[in-house]
Structure 1
Amino acid sequence: MATTIFLEAHYFGEDHEELRLPCEAVAATLDGLIVAGVEARHLRALKWRPDYLSYWADGQLLRLAVGPWVALDALTVRFTLR
């Protein structure tokens, strides 16, 4: 079942960036968040680093503080949690 992730970055004052990307699934692991079905090229094109990642799980909106991400393959990335 396809879903989306919402990425946010906040700067000083009111400055911020945000981006919504389609994906297949998000899974929490000991290593962080695994996002499957998202095109890593979209994340590589960002000029900013996401501070938060939001997604829906079991009818609940989860917003988690994230750190750096790494592409596991062209359609799967892992975000570290802060």
Structure 2
Amino acid sequence: MSATTIFLEAHYFGEDSEELRLPCDAVAATAGGLVVTGLEARHLQALTWRPDFLSYWSDGLLVRLAVGSWTALGDTTVRFSLR
């Protein structure tokens, strides 16, 4: 398994926005949302903003999805709900 990254974005009124790129091992789409493995949950816990979108590369295509809340499933596994 090769490492990848996720890109998190939050957009506010006007042109205000936040963004963050984080390394991870893999991203998998499941019935419960997106499961990101190899991502330290502490990085998300330190955010002062909630991501609106999560982007990642899959089979050479950029996937950008609207996400809701996230839940730590362990120290290095996180599930994002989809909106």
RMSD: 0.2
How far residue 16 of structure 1 moved from its aligned partner, in angstroms, is: 0.1
SS at match of 1:12: coil
TM-score (norm 2): 0.98
Which residue in 2 is equivalent to 1:76? Answer: 77
Distance between the aligned counterparts of 1:58 and 1:34, measured in 2? 17
The percentage of aligned residue pairs carrying the same residue is 76
Structure 1 residue runs of 4+, over 4 Å off?
none
Distance between the aligned counterparts of 1:63 and 1:39, measured in 2? 21
TM-score (norm 1): 1.00
Distance between the aligned counterparts of 2:80 and 2:14, measured in 1? 26
Number of residues of Structure 1 aligned to a counterpart in Structure 2? 82
How far residue 11 of structure 1 moved from its aligned partner, in angstroms, is: 0.1
Q: Which runs of 5+ in 1 are unaligned?
A: none
Q: Which runs of 5+ in 2 are unaligned?
A: none
